[in-house]
C-alpha cells in the first residue's frame, strides 16, 4: 500500500504545490476565508465528497468507505495573518494586508492531497474519513470550538492534525506525549497617573515610571513564585504611552501573555499579576485597570495515539525522520478537538534552507515537505481504519 501511495503522490506533487501557491497568493484572515472556503468546497465536491459549512467559513467533508468501521478526522487550519508579506517569490501574497506566514496554506494543500488519494481508495477501507478545514486558528477564541459546537466531531472516533514546522528539518516528525503546546492567555494593564510638564515631575504621578517598575516586578513571578521544575512564561508585547518628549502622560497601557501547560498554574499567575500590579501602582500613588483573557487550553496528546503516529511515521518516512522535541509555549486550538476525542497533533519539518521563522513577513516553507506530509496524513487515516474494528 505504501509503495502505491508513494507512486501516486509523486504524480500529484506538482498539483499539491500549485494548490499551496494559489492559496498563498490569496490569503484571508480569521472568519473571512471566503475565497479559500469556496476553492476547497469546489475541490472536495469534485471528488464526490459531500461538504457542509461549519463555523461560518469552515468546511466539513465526509468520505464514506465500505460499510462498518470507525470514523477518523483530519484537520487543516485555513486563516492567514494580518501581515504584509515581503520578498520576491513568484507566488507572493496579492493581499497587501495579509499573508500565510505560518504555513496554513501548506496545511490545506496537504489535506487536499490526502482527500484526493483517500477518495481514490474508498473501496479499500471500512469506515469514514472526515476532512475538517478550520477557520480562525490564529485569532482567539478560534474556530475549533465553534466547529465542535456545530457538530464537526459527531461520530468521530479519532482526530489527527499537523503543523509544518520551520525549526525541524524537512520531512521529519516531532511529537510529544501528553502536554505539547501551552495555554496562551493575554493580559492588559492601564496605569493611571497624573500627567504634567516634564520639567516638574514632582507635581505628577508618572505612569511611565510606574509601568517600567511593573515590567520588572512582574517578571519575578516566574523566577520567584513558580516551581523551577514547571514551565511558565510571562512576556510583555506592547508598552504605549505619551505623545511628546516634554509631557508626562496621564496613562500608559501594557499588554502581555502568560503561557503554561497547567491550568491551575495559569490561575495562580493571574492572581499574582493582579496583586503585584495593584501593589506597585499603590506604592507610587497610581491606580490601574487590569484585564485578563483566557486563550486556548493546553494541547494534550493521547499517549497511545502518539505511539500510533510514531509507528506510521517510521513505516512511511523511516526511523531517521523521528526527531525528539520538547513541548513549546505556542498555543493551538486543535487542543479542543483533542479534549473531545482521542488523537494527536504533530510538527512536520519544513525548515531546510528556510531562514525566516513563523510569523515573519518573509516566512516561506520548503515545498519538498508537502508530498511527504501528504503520505503521512493519508497513511494515518488508512492505517487507523484498518486497525480499528
Question: CA–CA separation, 341 vs 344, rounded Å?
Answer: 10
Question: CA–CA separation, 382 vs 1, rounded Å?
Answer: 10
Catalytic residue, candidates 28, 33, 85, 137: 137
Question: CA–CA separation, 111 vs 348, rounded Å?
Answer: 13
Q: Which three cell numbers stand for residue 262?
A: 497547567
Active site residue 79: yes
Question: Which strand (E) or helix (H) includes residue 308?
Answer: helix 303-317
Q: Which residues on neighbouring strands pair with residue 129, listed in sequence order? A: 63, 72
Sequential DSSP letters for 110-147: HHHHHHHHHHTTTTS-EEEEEEEEES-SSSTT-SHHHH
CA quadruple 314, 316, 321, 326: dihedral positive or negative? negative
Question: CA–CA separation, 310 vs 325, rounded Å?
Answer: 13
Catalytic residue, candidates 79, 251, 302, 333: 79
Question: CA–CA separation, 16 vs 13, rounded Å?
Answer: 5
Q: Which three cell numbers stand for residue 92?
A: 507572493
What Rg, from alpha-carbon coordinates, does the chain have? Answer: 24
Residues marked as catalytic: 79, 137
Amino acid at each position: 500500500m505504501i509503495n502505491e501511495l508513494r507512486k501516486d503522490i509523486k504524480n500529484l506533487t506538482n498539483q499539491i504545490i500549485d494548490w499551496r501557491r494559489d492559496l498563498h497568493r490569496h490569503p484571508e484572515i480569521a472568519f473571512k476565508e471566503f475565497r479559500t472556503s469556496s476553492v476547497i468546497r469546489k475541490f472536495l465536491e469534485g471528488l464526490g465528497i459531500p461538504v457542509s459549512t461549519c463555523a461560518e467559513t469552515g468546511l466539513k467533508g465526509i468520505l464514506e468507505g465500505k460499510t462498518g468501521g470507525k470514523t477518523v478526522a483530519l484537520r487543516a487550519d485555513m486563516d492567514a495573518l494580518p501581515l504584509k508579506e515581503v520578498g520576491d517569490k513568484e507566488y507572493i501574497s496579492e493581499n497587501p494586508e495579509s499573508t500565510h506566514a505560518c504555513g496554513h496554506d501548506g496545511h490545506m494543500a496537504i489535506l487536499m492531497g490526502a482527500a484526493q488519494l483517500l477518495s481514490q481508495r474508498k473501496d479499500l477501507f471500512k469506515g469514514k474519513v472526515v476532512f475538517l478545514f478550520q477557520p480562525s486558528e490564529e485569532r482567539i477564541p478560534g474556530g475549533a470550538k465553534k466547529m465542535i459546537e456545530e457538530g464537526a466531531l459527531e461520530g468521530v472516533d479519532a482526530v489527527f492534525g499537523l503543523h509544518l514546522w520551520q525549526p525541524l528539518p524537512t520531512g521529519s516528525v516531532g511529537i510529544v506525549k501528553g502536554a505539547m503546546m501551552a495555554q496562551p492567555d493575554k493580559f492588559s494593564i492601564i496605569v493611571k497617573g497624573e500627567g504634567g510638564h516634564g520639567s516638574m515631575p514632582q507635581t505628577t504621578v508618572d505612569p511611565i515610571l510606574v509601568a517600567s517598575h511593573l515590567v520588572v516586578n512582574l517578571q519575578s513571578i516566574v523566577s520567584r513564585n513558580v516551581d523551577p521544575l514547571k514551565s511558565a512564561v510571562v512576556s510583555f508585547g506592547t508598552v504605549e504611552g505619551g505623545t511628546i518628549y516634554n509631557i508626562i502622560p496621564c496613562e500608559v497601557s501594557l499588554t502581555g501573555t502568560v503561557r503554561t501547560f497547567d491550568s491551575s498554574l495559569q490561575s495562580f499567575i493571574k492572581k499574582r499579576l493582579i496583586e503585584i500590579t495593584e501593589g506597585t501602582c499603590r506604592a507610587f500613588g497610581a491606580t490601574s485597570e487590569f484585564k485578563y483573557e483566557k486563550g486556548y487550553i493546553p494541547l494534550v496528546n493521547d499517549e497511545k495515539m502518539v505511539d500510533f503516529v510514531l509507528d506510521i511515521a517510521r513505516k512511511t518516512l523511516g526511523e531517521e525522520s523521528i526527531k525528539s522535541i520538547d513541548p513549546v509555549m505556542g498555543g493551538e486550538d486543535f487542543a479542543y478537538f483533542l479534549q473531545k476525542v482521542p488523537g494527536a497533533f504533530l510538527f512536520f519539518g519544513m525548515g531546510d534552507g528556510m531562514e525566516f521563522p513563523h510569523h515573519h513577513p518573509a516566512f516561506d516553507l520548503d515545498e519538498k515537505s508537502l508530498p511527504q506530509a501528504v503520505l503521512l496524513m493519508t497513511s494515518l487515516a488508512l492505517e487507523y481504519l484498518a486497525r480499528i474494528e
